[in-house]
Every structure is written in C-alpha cells, then in structure tokens.
Amino acid sequence: MKVHLVDGTYELFRHFFGAPSHRNEAGQEVAAVRGVAASVLQLLEEGATHVGVATDHVIESFRNDLWPGYKTGEGVDPELWSQAWPLEGVLLALGVVVWPMVELEADDALASAAAVAGDEQDVEQVLICTPDKDLGQCVHGSRIVQVDRRKRTVIDEEGVVAKFGVAPSSIPDYLALVGDKADGFPGLAGWVALMVVGAVLSLPLTLPVLPESTLPSGSWESGINKDLSATVGWRDLVDQVAQTERALPPAQRAHVVILAGDYGAAGALDLWGPAEGLPMAISGHNTYWWWGPAGARDGATTIAVDLPRSFLRTFFAHVRPAGSVRTPHGVWTEERDDPIWVCQGQTRSWTQVWPSLRHYD
C-alpha cells in the first residue's frame, strides 16, 4: 500500500488565497474548507487508500520559546484561521485520519508519520504531500518522497540533491544557514551564507546563483512579499511560450491552444500573452477550471506548460518537447524548469478531456 500524508495547514492557506469567497448560511467564510475538502476527495478518487492529514490546531508551538522571531499567528487573516477547526471536522467526516497539533506542529506530525510508515514492511511508498522545504529532510531514496500536487512533481532523494545541492539529512543545516522566511529564521546574510554553505556542506555552487542586483544584500526574496515573489519568472515563461508559438507554421499558429498546468502560469500568460500574439490560456487548476476550454478548437496544435508528458499523451497522439522555462542568472522560481510541449493529433475533444484536467491544490 501507499501512504499519503497531507499538510492540512498549507492546503488551508493555499485555498484561502486561491479560491473565490464563499459563505455558509450563517455568513461564515468557508471557501478554503471547501477547497481543501475537494482536494482530498480528488486524492481519494485517484486511488489513495491510506491518507493522513496534519493540521496546526494552534499556530504557536514549543519553538516559539526557543526562538523569539519564530512564526506566530500575528497578521493571519481572522477569516482564514476561523476555518482551521471546521476543516478538521470536515476531514474526519471524509474518513481520513487527522492529526490536529497543539504543542508540536503539522510538520512534526508529517515527519513522524513518514518515519513510522517507512518502517512498515507492507508500505510500498510514503508520499508527503507538501512543497515545504523542511520536509525534504524526511525523503529517503524513492521510498519516502515529497509530492508537489500543484505542479504534479515527485521529489525523491536525487531530486532533493538536485534542488538544494545537499542530501536530505543536511536540509536542517542548509535552512539554518540560508534561512527560512516562512518560519521566521533569517539565516546568514548574502555572500556569507553562500560561503558558509559551501564550506560546511560542500555544495557544488556555480555563482551567481541569485540576481546580481540582490546578491550583496542577501536572499533574492529580501523585502518581497511571499506571494509577490512567486511571480518572479512569469515574464520569462511567457517569452518562451511566445517563442515556441512563433516557431509553428502559420496555419497552426492561427488556432493554437495554450494549456497551462497551474493557475499562476495561466494568469501570467493571460496578462502578457496577448501582447505577444498569444490566445488566452486555459487551465484545469483550481478556479481556472470553471472557465472551461473557452475558445479552444478541437484538433488544433496545443502548447502545454507544466504538465507531464505521460498525462498529455492520454489525449494527444504526438507530444514533443519544445524546451523548458529558464530564468536569468540561474535564479530558482516556481516556473523554472517547467516543461513546454507541442501537442498534436488530439484524440479526444476538449469537452471530453476537461473533467480529467480539474485539480485543486
């Protein structure tokens, strides 16, 4: 069997900011609860049989006594946090195991569950469903892996090394040195951090690894809102999709379809794409799905971004690589290395395909 471990707090925050507002009869905001429930239901519909969800019943933990700058509930939108406890009840009603954490954190529950499940002989694989960097330390070979459901990627031990330059066991040391803004750890500033990481962890760094304008002052995210920092690289994505579109024969360009794997990429393509001659993007991610495949012509050449080739082959006879998203100076962004595909020979109409494209995460 496979064990799926879900970061409920991450899911709650994600759907609060990604889903349109929805209130129940009592006037309470419940959109995030609905979004997380839909995401877990999708996981079950895809065949998951053993699912555990860890939540932060309270935000503060014992770590607040160890580090004065550690994350607290300060600044959290009351309408977001008011959905945390109702979410736990909804998840229990769905029949999944819920670990509401008080003195410890959801991350601690996920890590503990991964260790316990990983020791069970009848467990084929443990999948930790969160992109949180902290959980990278739990990855072991291909038996315990991290899953980014939004990007539909699986990170095994080799993937951790490729992404961070260190083995999973060194992730705590790595984050202590470079910092983790989500948890309130500043790390060491700028070049000092890079040199210490290189010396202590023997990282094979190729500099510059950050934008030139920000290297002296530290992390490229310094002074940038977390949500805003996620937009870095969007323009590069649009430019590369536009280059792919311009390389097509004129007859194919006339009706080309742009399919994005996540709503961030779709939003970027809709914002800057028209100036490059691109049509509006379609996407099955979160609330973008509700717009449907508007304007997408059946049988037209499709440029797909951030979707697995194996999935695209279920409704296209031919899927060829057109490259991947690249950003200047080697900066890592959410879109970096996303594959760009040119798809032809559609085997099912967009109306038939659309239900399978829907995913909430």
State pLDDT tens for residues 123-143.
999 999 998 888 999 999 999
β-pairing, 302-305 with 339-346?
Answer: antiparallel
Task: Report which of residues 199 and 154 the model is more confident about.
Answer: 154
Same domain, 16 and 134: yes
**Residues 205-226: what's their mean pLDDT?**
41
Last-in-domain residue among 101, 126, 155? 155
- Whether 212 has a pLDDT exceeding 70, the answer reads no
* 86 and 189 belong to one structural domain: no
| Residue 107, token pair as written in the block | 């991350």
* Section 249-269 average pLDDT: 90
pLDDT band at 178; cut points 50, 70, 90: confident
Crossing angle between the packed helical segments 171-178 and 190-201, to the nearest 10 degrees: 160
Query: For residue 64, is it within any domain?
Result: yes
Asked whether residue 163 is domain-assigned, the answer is no
pLDDT band at residue 326 using 50, 70 and 90 as cut-offs: confident
In percent, the amount of the chain with pLDDT more than 70 equals 82
Instruction: Return the amino acid letter for 7.
Output: D
pLDDT band of residue 331 (cuts 50, 70, 90) is low
pLDDT at position 257 over 70? yes
| Region 189-193 average pLDDT | 49
Is residue 85 one of the residues assigned to a domain? yes
- If you average pLDDT over residues 101-105, what whole number do you get? 85
Q: Are residues 135 and 238 in the same domain?
A: no
Domain count, the chain: 3
The pLDDT of residue 342 is above 70: yes
pLDDT of 100 over the 50 cut: yes
* Domain annotation covers residue 229: no
User: For 318-332, what is the mean pLDDT?
Assistant: 73
Q: Clarify whether residues 263 and 351 are in a common domain.
A: yes
Q: What burial class does residue 169 get, using C-beta atoms within 10 Å of its C-beta: 0-12 exposed, 13-18 middle, 19+ buried?
A: middle
Q: Which of 129, 168, 139, 136 lies closest to 40, judged by CA?
A: 129
User: Is residue 209's pLDDT more than 50?
Assistant: no
Using the predicted structure, report yes or no on whether residue 210 has a pLDDT greater than 60.
no
Strand partners, 101: 56
Question: Measured between alpha carbons, how far apart are the two ends of the chain, in Å?
Answer: 23
- Examine the domain organization and report whether 53 and 184 are in the same domain: no
Indicate if 126 and 177 belong to the same structural domain.
no
Query: Do the domain assignments include residue 318?
Result: yes
Lowest-pLDDT range, 148-162, 197-211, 261-275, 340-354? 197-211
> What confidence category does residue 294 fall into, taking pLDDT thresholds of 50, 70 and 90?
confident
**Sequence-separated (6 or more) residues with CB below 8 Å from residue 10:** 106, 130, 131, 132
SS3 157: helix
Contacts of 151 (CB under 8 A, 6+ apart): 131, 261, 262, 306, 334, 338
Q: What percent of the chain has pLDDT above 90? A: 39
Residues 32 and 149 in one domain: yes
Pairwise CA distance, residues 6 & 40, whole Å: 9
State whether 172 and 302 are in the same domain. no
Residue 255 has pLDDT above 90, yes or no: yes
Give the pLDDT confidence score for residue 319 in this predicted structure. Answer: 94
Last residue of a domain, one of 155, 187, 206: 155
Asked if residue 70 belongs to a domain, the reply is yes
DSSP string, 231-289: TTTHHHHHHHHHHHHHTS-HHHHTT-EEEESSHHHHHHHHHHTGGGTPPPPEE-BGGGG
Q: Output the pLDDT for position 51.
A: 95
- Residue 182: partners with Cβ closer than 8 Å, 6 or more residues away: 71, 132, 226
The pLDDT of residue 234 is 78
Residue-level pLDDT at 219: 45
Angle of helix 8-18 relative to helix 31-45, nearest 10 degrees, comes to: 120
Last residue of a domain, one of 222, 251, 266: 222
Query: Is residue 196 located within the same domain as residue 121?
Result: no
If we measure between CA atoms, which residue out of 308, 355, 35, 32 comes closest to residue 154?
308
Is residue 314 within 8 Å of residue 296, measured between CB atoms?
A: no
Average pLDDT over residues 100-110: 89
- 338-354 as b/e: b if 16+ CB within 10 A: bbbbbbeebeeebeebb
In DSSP terms, 51 is beta-bridged to 4
CATH of the domain at 106: 3.40.50.1010
Same domain, 82 and 112: yes
Of 18-27, 55-64, 190-199, the range with the lowest mean pLDDT is 190-199
Which residues constitute the domain of residue 261? 234-357
Tell me, what's the pLDDT at 334? 60
Quick one: 245 and 217 in the same domain?
no
Which of 38-42, 116-120, 232-236, 292-296 has the least mean pLDDT? 232-236
Considering the domain architecture, whether residues 258 and 181 belong to the same structural domain is answered as no
Q: Evaluate if residue 204 carries a pLDDT over 60.
A: no
Per-residue confidence band for 224, with pLDDT thresholds at 50, 70 and 90: very low
- Residue 178 in any domain: the answer is yes
What does the CA dihedral 336, 338, 40, 56 come to, rounded to 10 degrees?
-10
Higher pLDDT: 337 or 196? It is 337
Asked whether residue 162 is assigned to any structural domain, the reply reads: no
The average confidence (pLDDT) of the chain is 82
